[in-house]
Structure formats: C-alpha cells, structure tokens
C-alpha cells in the first residue's frame, strides 16, 4: 500500500478523484490476473511485477480523467 501511495504522488490530480485504496485494489486485481501467466522467480521479481501493475493502473486512471 505504501508503494501505491508513493507512486500516486507522481501523478498529480488523480488523488482528487481516486483514493489510494482504490488504486491499490485495482492494481492487486491486475496482479492476480498476471500471476496466472507469469512464473515468479524471486521476491524482487514479484515486487517489480506489482509495481508494473500499479503503474499501469495509474496510467489507466490518468487517461480516464485527463485523456490520452
């Protein structure tokens, strides 16, 4: 959750409409779906995959509110 909060600070304006918990939950759903297709090799690999899914969710939300 703290990683989500840190990454949310890099996207100003999103916190006006979305809370950290919402971004975190949607990112974890994305992570769960990606774990079906990816084999985790290490702890670092897992956290990199989680950060990627958080970033993708933030970009998706930014596009939703600010356009492409």
Tally of domains within the chain? 1
When pLDDT is averaged across residues 45-67 and rounded to a whole number, the result is 94
Query: Containing domain of residue 43, as a range?
Result: 2-66
Which string of DSSP letters, residue by residue, matches 1-65? -HHHHHHHTTSTTGGGT--HHHHHHHHHHHHHHHHTT----SHHHHHHHHHHHHHHHHHHHHHHH
When pLDDT is averaged across residues 34-38 and rounded to a whole number, the result is 95
Residue 54 in this model has a pLDDT that exceeds 90: yes
Residue 68 in this model has a pLDDT that exceeds 80: no
Non-local (6+) Cβ contacts of 16 within 8 A are none
Residue 50 in this model has a pLDDT that exceeds 90: yes
Residue 67 in this model has a pLDDT that exceeds 90: no
Q: What pLDDT sits at residue 12?
A: 86
């Amino acid at each position: 959750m703290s990683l989500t909060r840190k990454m949310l600070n890099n996207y100003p304006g999103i916190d006006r409409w979305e809370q950290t918990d919402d971004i975190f939950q949607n990112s974890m759903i994305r992570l769960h779906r990606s774990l079906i297709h990816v084999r985790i090799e290490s702890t670092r690999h897992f956290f990199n995959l989680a950060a990627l899914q958080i970033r993708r969710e933030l970009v998706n939300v930014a596009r939703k509110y600010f356009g492409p």
